[in-house]
Amino acid sequence: MPEWWPIQNQGAVDPPAASDAIALFRLLGSGPQGISAPEAASRLVSFGHNELGDDRELPWHRQLAMAFNTPFNYLLMALAAVGLISGDMAVVAIISSMVAISGGLRFTQKFQSGKAASRLKRMVHTTATVIRPGSNSAEVPIWMLVPGDVVALAAGDLIPADVLVLSAKDLQVNQASLTGESMPVEKIKAPSEPLKSPMSHLNPLEISWLGFMGSSVISGSGHALVFRTGKSTHMGSIAKGINARRGETAFDRGVNASSLLLVRFMLVMVPVIFLINGITKGDWFQALLFGVSVAVGLTPEMLPVIVTANLARGAVAMSARKVVVKYLPAIQNLGGMDILCTDKTGTLTQDKVVLIRHLNIDGSESALVLRHAYLNSFFQTGL
């Protein structure tokens, strides 16, 4: 975001945005016809993409490193290092191969599923209708929107950024993702002159001429001026308050608990065995080798391979049912659910209205009923 950009406050609506359209036009260097394509491209460089986060796939080398980033692998690698120091190459070879197989399986599944998810994402293009000077309109990807753009809104559209409504015709918006209220709210045209009393003390969601990223148009139509995009939006401020770090799952806790238990056993038993063996036999090098052997015997080297192989097998089985698994432990998490609450979407249904019959008051098919229904649907603008 450039230094000159005056809209910085994330927690409340800025006075220009809450007052009138003329002030916001002046602030953004825009107008009722929006901004030109070259100006939009320049602002895109300054403001960045209209996205809440960076969803790009990690480089393969970082994914490879993360595949080995487990407490149990650290334990095995520590034992392999001790074996290398003591010269027990058989132990080093066995442990290293187990770590390599486990990490390799995890990396392969993560990398392939990431590529599949990226291909699916590229197939879905969410666009917005942007007004350009000269009475032209263009469909542009939502991530390319910048402050100063004027967008057209219609029933079924997502509000692509934080906007000020310039015109509205029976515009009803669902803000449930922001407020939790299922009933739509009406949006009206913003005043063209400054208000007599300031509105900065109000909850921005209560101002009827402001729309916010994450809400959707239920019915009606209108035009709106984009004044915040990406992480600067109201939705972006909410996203910042959510810890993006993945929480520890029951699967992770189980593996970590097993690793810590084995570490405790080794920390207690190996030094004791090493000291007793060295004191009684006087050969401290052989005592060290025996201690390493005990540590290796306490460690189930095949556990990471078995766990990863089973999760990978589950991922392959789910891929046969057209399910992409990006995070292997998610399989165990899904299997551990008692109740799953989800909403039915157009992906599960046909995502279209199907006409089955058109009946009159007597229960007979009537072309007149169909004609009136068509006219009502054609001219309807509100709920």
Beta bridge partners of 137: 131
Separation between Cα atoms, residue 314 and residue 105, nearest integer Å? 13
Look up residue 122 and give its amino acid. Answer: R
Among residues 298, 163, 293, the alpha carbon closest in space to that of 234 is found at 163
Question: Cα dihedral sign for 138, 140, 144, 147?
Answer: positive
DSSP letters of 149-202? -EEEEETT-B--SEEEEEEEEEEEEE-HHHH---S-EEE-PPPSS--SS--TTS
Separation between Cα atoms, residue 150 and residue 225, nearest integer Å? 5
Separation between Cα atoms, residue 84 and residue 94, nearest integer Å? 12
Q: Do residues 322 and 116 make contact, with C-beta atoms less than 8 angstroms apart? A: no
Separation between Cα atoms, residue 189 and residue 211, nearest integer Å? 11
Helix axes 303-319, 89-123, angle to 10 degrees: 20
Instruction: Name the catalytic one among 54, 343, 351, 362.
Output: 343
Q: Do residues 140 and 189 make contact, with C-beta atoms less than 8 angstroms apart? A: no
Among residues 300, 296, 299, 297, the alpha carbon closest in space to that of 83 is found at 296
Q: Do residues 56 and 121 make contact, with C-beta atoms less than 8 angstroms apart? A: no
Here the contacts of 132-135 (C-beta below 8 Å, separation 24 or greater) are 132/33, 132/34, 132/35, 132/36, 132/37, 133/31, 133/33, 133/34, 133/35, 133/36, 134/33, 135/33
Separation between Cα atoms, residue 260 and residue 252, nearest integer Å? 12
> Does 20 qualify as catalytic in the annotation?
no
Separation between Cα atoms, residue 116 and residue 134, nearest integer Å? 41
Separation between Cα atoms, residue 219 and residue 206, nearest integer Å? 19
List active site positions. 343
